[in-house]
Amino acid sequence: MLKFPVDAPNARVVRTLEELGFRLIRKREHIALLRENPDGSKTPLTMPNHLYIKSSTLRTICTQAGISREDFLSAFDKS
């Protein structure tokens, strides 16, 4: 099973989430993103604005956003 990166750069994580359909709403102490789903619903996502994001935080972000580990890691490798 592939593992999440230990300390992923913040900018790369945001690019990855944008590739997965999220758009950046606000970037201050926290980063707010939003994804509009095909059924008309919206999925909000908030993450800390740190230089590096821990693997445990990435795991929680993906769980809350409904992103599978494989989907995130394949998009992360491309960005």
Instruction: Name 18's Cβ contacts closer than 8 Å, sequence gap at least 6.
Output: 24, 33
Residue 27 burial (CB count, 10 A)? 12
Please tell me the distance from the alpha carbon of residue 35 to that of residue 30, in angstroms, as a whole number. 17
pLDDT tens across 5-44, in order? 999 999 999 999 999 999 999 999 999 999 999 999 999 9
Model pTM score: 0.92
Q: What is the pLDDT of residues 41-64, one digit of tens each?
A: 999 999 999 999 999 999 999 999
Structural domains of the chain ordered from first start: 7-78 (3.30.920.30)
Of 11, 10, 16, 15, nearest in space to 73 by CA = 16
